[in-house]
Amino acid sequence: MKSLSFTLKVMVAPILLLGVVLFFFACNVDNPIIQTPSDNVFDDWAVRVENDAAEFSKTYPVSETNPFVFASYDELMTHLKYGTGVVAFGFPECPRCRNAFPVLEKAFHEMDMDKHAGFRGRILYYNVYGDRESNNERYQAIVDYLGEFLQHDDSGNPRVYMPDIFFVAAGKIVGNHLDTVESLLDPYEPLNDEQEAELLGIYKNLMEKVEDCNC
């Protein structure tokens, strides 16, 4: 009988152990360890990034291997709140955007920000024009979140003007730059060498804040 009892104990122990493991696994399925969304949200974006770069270069005068990625609203807000990198607001018909984005790309490469993985190694682009014109819930949420960094319209309300480039470190906005340079009076005119150098310096200084932030 003792031998039989011992045998049963040996057989039952692994079953109990397996039950405990399955119990904890089941509990943790509904309560996963929360990680910042920027940790691995870009893992499956390899093809998308390549396609977005090609598509972006058809609209703006940037290289075909540019670092711009078209962001959805949810991606935009997630990375503003948790990510590290650069967010660009614009729309295709914006002449100032056409002047700004090639310089932003150049600054991005010169600061070697494309060495990073995920959001930090890309520029998230969001076309906010439609949201702004309809003043929908997405636009209102964007304005609520970015309000202190935005200029105000004639009625005194914060408004997203474009191009507005935001620089984010661990969910903290360390700076933004609206438009291009003050000396460019006609946005349909291209930047001259001096103006381009001025804008390049502005972007690089703000990217340096992202790199140096101990957030």
pLDDT value at residue 28: 35
Q: Please tell us whether the domain made up of 41-212 is placed in CATH 3.90.79.10.
A: no
- pLDDT tens digits, 23-50: 333 333 333 222 344 444 445 556 677 7
Give the pLDDT confidence score for residue 89 in this predicted structure: 98
In the chain, pLDDT over 70 holds for what percent of residues? 77
> How far apart (Å, rounded) are the C-alpha atoms in residues 166 and 42?
19
Q: Where are the domains of the chain?
A: 1-31, 41-212
Q: How far is 66 from 86, CA to CA, in rounded Å?
A: 13
pLDDT in tens, 148-176: 999 999 999 999 999 999 999 999 999 99
Decide: 165 and 104 in contact? Cβ < 8 Å: yes
pTM of model > 0.85: no
The one-letter amino acid at 75: E
